[in-house]
Every structure is written in structure tokens, then in C-alpha cells.
A = this chain, B = another copy of it.
Amino acid sequence: MSHLVKPHGGGELKPLRLEGAARKTELARAKALKQVKMSSRETGDLIMMGIGGFTPLDGFMTKADWQGVCDGMKTSSGLFWPIPVTLSTDDESIKDGDDIALVGGESGEIMGTMKVTEKYTIDKAHECMQVYKTTDIKHPGIKMVMAQGKYNLAGPVKVLSDGGFKAKYGAQFMTPAETRAAFEKMGWSKVAAFQTRNPMHRSHEYLVKIAIETMDGVLIHSLLGALKPGDIPAEVRSEAISTLVENYFAPNTVIQAGYPLDMRYAGPREALLHALFRQNYGCSHLIVGRDHAGVGDYYGPFDAQKIFDEIPKGSLETQNMNIDWTFWCKKCGGMASRRTCPHTKDDRILLSGTKVRAMLSEGQDLPVEFSRPEVAAVLKKYYASLTKEQNVKIELKGHSAA
């Protein structure tokens, strides 16, 4: 009997992928259909629907859903949802009622099919302001929205591919059903998700360990989709995290896995989405640190924590576990946060992302209070493998992991 949180919406997990013969038949049918090329973000969303991570969605959102989600974080059926999950196209020929094939923009692979129930236009700037709180085109999420096609297409989807994630990441690419089964096998019910798109330094290790001290276990859940230029690639990050787990975590306290979405960098709204799909993965909590899912200075450092108090009670079963800015403090002689350390900035070992990158690129050691030597070694090896030009282009994000 499971004591895990229920999937979002309160029903069963709803993976939209077809398998076996049904998949074969649908794939054959799809080959004859008009094709719509998906962006990387749309591809990630489709795969997520395929594995049940976006339960209980049936497909890409309608205009009413889009409007409700932008303005009140609710689909037209009243389901809590913080960020639009939409598909776009510039194709004038597609009409309501069409069956279309959904094609990976980069791979060209037919990844799914959709019955178009609605073709509509949106006010992109409105989505940007409501969801991202900005229309600044330098914001990578705004860039994504603005690059969408002229029309949105809504409709139920059938998913035919996982986009190669399973082949590429193996056991680390776990579906919600798989993480749930793993948690149950471990006897876990209070499980925190640690969302990360960066390697883990000691500040992140500390966040996770606080959760371990007080819960049954932690899912270290890495984004495997696309990042902004300069973020550490998934393979390197994954190796760095595995190294950390092997050397510094007790057995049976963490599970390391990844999920297929792209980052939107929507800060608070994305933190809610992160909690929502973690509920589908079976996590009762999401660790929300400083500037969760943020970029630049678009969001206040703790806006992503506060938004959980602003949504209607019961919107999500998965709760936020807020943790303040974390660091090594010399006077404390240990890891701490601003909630547990009374000392001053000068007592704390804080390195900017730029500084960390510079040190690693030059083959320098990071302070052991900042990063585990085993983790730093993985990163040094990666930076050493880059050409000088690649190195210059990289802007490593500092403290925030999420």
C-alpha cells in the first residue's frame, strides 16, 4: 500500500505514450500525416506527457486553458497549472479537426500524433508578463515564447517516443511510475525532490542533507533537457553528482535521476511547475532554495518560496521545503544558512559562478569548504577539455542549483 502523494489531480498517473503494437500502428499512421515541427521546449513537454510527468494533461492546451493558466494558474477545467503547455506552428494550412504528426525539431523523428481541436492565436507579451513577469527579450524564457509560431494548436496527443533519453541516460532516466516504485521499495513516503541543473557543490549537498535528516529520502532530480548556453552539460553534471553521492552520502538515502524538460527560467511560476510534476514522480516535497529556477535579476531571491503561500490551499499535495542561502561559515566552522549563522559576510566562503569557472578553467583547486575535491576534479577535467573559445563563452551560474 502506497503512502506516497497522489498524482496531480488526484487520479492515477496518466502516461500518454503508446507501446508495443499500438505504438507501431500509430507510427505507421503518423507517417502519412501532416508534420508539425516542435521546438526543443515543446519536445520536452511532449516527452513529459508521454511518461506521465504532466499528469493529468491529455495534450497541448486550448486557448481557454492558456488564458486560465496565464491569468489564474488554472486550466478551463479548474485544474491547478502554473505555466502554459502549448504547441505552436506557423503552418497556415492546419485546421481544426486535422490529425498531425509531431516531429522533433532537431531529430526529425516522429514523436507523437495529435488531433487538432483548436487553432488559436495568443498575446505572447501577455503570457510573458503573466508567467515571467517581464517581456525583456534577453530573458531566455521570453526568447522561447517570442520564438513560438504564429498559431497555437491544441488537442489530445499520443506519444510515440521518449526522445532517446532512456537510451542516452539509461537507469537515470526514470519515469514517474519508476520513481514511485523505487520509493515504495525503499519504504519511503516523505521524499524531497532536489531540482538541479548544475553540479552540486557543498551548499547544495547541505540542502539535500537537511532534507535527508528530516525525511525518508531525497530524489536528486536533474534537468536533462536543454539549458541556456554555458550551463554544464548533463553528462558532466551527472558524473559530478554521482561522484558526490558515492563519497559523501549514506546508502539508501538518495536516488539520482533526471527528467526531460527544458528550463524555462520562469522563477516562481516554474518552481510551482517543478513541485507539480514532482508530485507525479511521488515526491512529497520540493526543496526550494535561493533564486529557484531564476535567471539574472528578474526575480527576488525568495520569490519562488513565497509563491507557494500565495496559491490556493490544496492546489498541490507536494509542499515546498524552503531553505535560505547556504554557505560555509568560518566562525560556525560548518555549513550554514542565513537562518542558522549569525556571523557576517566576511566570515562566509562565497564564490561567484564566474570566479568558480575561472578557477576551474585555470586548473586551480576550489576551497574544500566550497566544493568536494572529487567533484571539483570532474569539473576541472571538463573545463580542460574545452577549447579556449568555448571557455570564454561559458557563463557559469553561481550558487543557484535549480
Contacts and interface: CB of A to CB of B under 8 A. Distances in A.
B321 A250 contact: no
Interface string A271-302: 00000000000000000000000000000000
Contacts of A11: none
A248 B336 CA distance: 11
Given A248-B332, A332-B248, A213 B340 contact: yes
Contacts of A341: 250
Contact-residue bracket for chain A: 20 to 34
Interface of A: 209-210, 212-214, 247-251, 253, 321-324, 332-342, 368-369
B337 A334 contact: no
Given A210-B213, A210-B214, A321-B214, A250 B333 contact: no
Contact of A334 (B212, B334, B342): B334
A305 to B, nearest CB: 12
Copies of this chain in its oligomeric complex = 2
Contacts of A250: 338-342
Contacts of A321: 214
9 contacts: A209-B336, A209-B340, A212-B339, A213-B339, A247-B342, A250-B338, A250-B342, A333-B368, A333-B369
B214 A249 contact: no
A324 B213 contact: yes
A94 B212 CA distance: 56
A322 B247 CA distance: 25
A284 to B, nearest CB: 13
A340 B341 CA distance: 20
A342 B249 contact: yes
Given A213-B340, A214-B322, 20 more contacts: A210-B210, A210-B213, A210-B214, A212-B339, A212-B340, A213-B323, A214-B214, A214-B321, A214-B323, A247-B342, A249-B340, A250-B338, A250-B339, A250-B340, A250-B341, A250-B342, A253-B340, A333-B369, A334-B334, A334-B335
Nearest to A338: B250
A60 to B, nearest CB: 37
A210 B215 CA distance: 12
Nearest to A372: B333
Contacts of A368: 333
A337 B212 CA distance: 10
A155 B110 CA distance: 80
A251 B342 contact: yes
